[in-house]
Structure 1
Amino acid sequence: MSIEDPLIRRRPLGGGWGVAAALAVQALCVALAFACGAAGGWAWSWTLFLAVPLVNFVVYGMGSRRTL
């Protein structure tokens, strides 16, 4: 059984492009949520905020690879 060092850095999925894509999706989702809410769709605009943690989970969590 091996014990992994928690201080080893993890590289995001896609490297720099993955980080840029995550930031773009977050900004787009927030802007769309406020735009839909301003158009009278406050009841459903909150669902766009669910994409923010989902994208972060894929880029930084599940999809990241260990670097040595």
Structure 2
Amino acid sequence: SQRVRYLRRNSYNRQQFLHFDSDLGYYVADTELGGPTAKQWNSDGTADRMKVEADRFCRHNYEIFEG
């Protein structure tokens, strides 16, 4: 099985304020605006769902394109 990295970037007004990195396994605030959202999403199960998405969606599609 190949290593797959999933990045999800959240932007507001064309500025990235928050991102999820599957290598870290949690959301990171890129600006002050993203702080409360990162804290909430890391504690309410959203980050856990993103980890599952990395395996379910990204790894599956990687295997299709590399297969």
Q: Normalised by the shorter chain, which TM-score bucket?
A: 0.3 to 0.5
Give the helix-richer structure, 1 or 2: 1
**Which has the higher relative contact order, 1 or 2, with Cα contacts under 8 A spaced 6 or more apart?**
1
Structure number with larger C-alpha Rg: 1
